[in-house]
């Protein structure tokens, strides 16, 4: 049952993140852009437990787990670097 709820959350977070990203492009709002980035990263992180569960049954899926984990880690690093460059005065 938890898998179904996690998958629904994943889909909803990803869709809302994409819509907020498009709205941020139209309005130029930095807050909406950050919120969209966070939602997409959360949805990618929420996908990890589902992938790991399937990878335990099918060893070839571990490549997908590594790719998703790399995307989450890379996204968090890029997000924190962008936040730190915004906050430091030049």
CA distance linking residue 49 with residue 7, whole number of Å: 10
The pLDDT, as a whole number, for residue 88 is 64
CB count in 10 Å sphere of residue 11: 12
Instruction: Please give the chain's pLDDT, 90 residues, in tens.
Output: 888 888 888 889 888 988 999 999 999 988 898 898 898 888 888 888 888 998 999 988 899 899 989 989 998 998 888 888 877 665
Q: CA 30, 33, 39, 40 torsion: positive or negative? A: negative
In this prediction, residue 89 carries a pLDDT of 62
- Rg (C-alpha) for the chain, rounded Å, is 15
What pLDDT shows up at residue 83?
82
Look at the alpha carbons of 81, 82, 88, 90 in this order and tell me if their dihedral is positive or negative: positive
Q: How many domains does the chain have?
A: 1
Domain that holds residue 25: 2-87
């Amino acid at each position: 049952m938890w898998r179904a709820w996690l998958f629904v959350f994943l889909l909803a977070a990803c869709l809302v993140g994409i819509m907020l990203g498009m709205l941020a492009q139209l309005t130029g709002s930095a807050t909406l852009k950050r919120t969209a980035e966070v939602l997409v990263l959360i949805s990618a992180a929420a996908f990890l437990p589902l992938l790991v569960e399937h990878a335990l049954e099918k060893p070839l899926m571990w490549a997908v787990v590594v790719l998703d984990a790399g995307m989450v880690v890379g996204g968090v690093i890029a997000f924190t670097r962008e936040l730190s460059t915004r906050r430091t005065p030049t």
